[in-house]
Structure 1
């Protein structure tokens, strides 16, 4: 039978329980615990009275304050939609110059455009639009199809080598694989192309570069132009800058010339509205990065 007694050290009664000579004190619950328990209970009762709280079959207790979170959210959505209509109408009617000159509109373009870019473009071009192997760096401003917002919007809309009826079409022939150029001519034109962006001293001797220039003039100028700066109407890249989609080292350039290239970009005409296309194109146009 448990027998309570006074503990001589603390002056408190024991519970009478003992384990191996250790006795348990009958310590009361701290007052601070009782206080917070009472405060929590009081808060719950007041909340149940004032706010919607208890389900009642097909309805619920409304509370004395009559607050309805659905109505609050609906009002917030309505307000946000009205605010969006204001600036989207301005963007639809404004030209690029007017949009870029308006700091408030550009802030909306940056915020909305970034979300559109991350949702639709980042998988290939990267979150920061810096591209990667096979995908161009959009901050470099080395455009294949033109860098004006309307041209960018058109590229996004119809895609490149996509299933859209109006898709942009571009392909680099496989000069080596298909036997258009012999091996020595492929090597020579690679040396010439490397000299355009890296300088003659970085590639081969002058004679090899001169031979490559002749091959280039006979086979490549139709797309890349006589100055090798590319042509936007056929999506041919500028070969004189330092921005490469498939790599600017000798091996990568040789592979491009020998085996050809055919990039692919899906069209977004069925997914993005005309407004979204304009916002996204303006956002891409506004991206800052290294230029050549």
Structure 2
């Protein structure tokens, strides 16, 4: 009887071990980056100028799908514009106008080319730039 009980116990241990080893395991870490996550953390200014406020609305409607909420970028979609690469001495306000009008070949990031954006006037883009520049200044990018 002892041998039978031992054999049953051993079989149960083996079955439990096999189940544990073959059962689906949670593979996602709580802090693992996920496609669509913001690429940078920023400080948002307490208030915006009227031009930047209009720019924020236009940005949210047209640009945020790729460049993220508050221009923080989106993993797998587009780069953050609140980044030293886009400081005014490297990417002028006119560079934003040209990017919207003509699109941009990928050159700083590996997100692929940015297509031209339709439905934005030069005035809309100027307001978007005002918004981005205010975000940049609030984060030490001059």
TM-score if structure 1 supplies the norm length? 0.27
Residue-by-residue CA offset, 1:32-74 (whole Å, 9 max, x unaligned): xxxxxxxxxxxxxxxxxxxxxxxxxxxxxxxxxxxxxxxxxxx
Question: RMSD of the alignment, in Å?
Answer: 2.6
Q: Which runs of 5+ in 2 are unaligned?
A: 1-47
Q: Does 1:118 align with 2:60?
A: yes
Q: Does 1:277 align with 2:121?
A: no
Equivalent residue, structure 2, for 1:155? 99
TM-score if structure 2 supplies the norm length? 0.53
8 Å CA contact 2:79–2:111 kept in 1: the answer is no
8 Å CA contact 1:147–1:285 kept in 2: the answer is no
SS at match of 1:115: helix
CA distance in 1, matches of 2:140, 2:75: 18
**Residue 283 of structure 1, CA deviation:** 2.1
Q: Which has the higher strand share?
A: 1
Equivalent residue, structure 1, for 2:116? 267
Equivalent residue, structure 2, for 1:286? 134
Q: 1 or 2 for the larger relative contact order (CA 8 Å, sep ≥6)?
A: 2
Matches within 5 A, 1:245-256: 245=109
Q: Which runs of 5+ in 1 are unaligned?
A: 1-105, 161-168, 171-234, 238-244, 246-260
8 Å CA contact 1:139–1:290 kept in 2: the answer is no
Residue-by-residue CA offset, 1:218-271 (whole Å, 9 max, x unaligned): xxxxxxxxxxxxxxxxx3x3xxxxxxx5xxxxxxxxxxxxxxx46122212x31
Matches within 5 A, 1:137-286: 137-143=80-86, 146-160=90-104, 169-170=105-106, 235=107, 237=108, 245=109, 261=110, 263-268=112-117, 270-286=118-134
- Which aligned segments of 4 or more residues in structure 1 are displaced greater than 4 angstroms? none
Count matched residues. 90
Q: Give the number of the structure whose alpha-carbon radius of gyration is greater.
A: 1
CA distance in 2, matches of 1:262, 1:137: 11
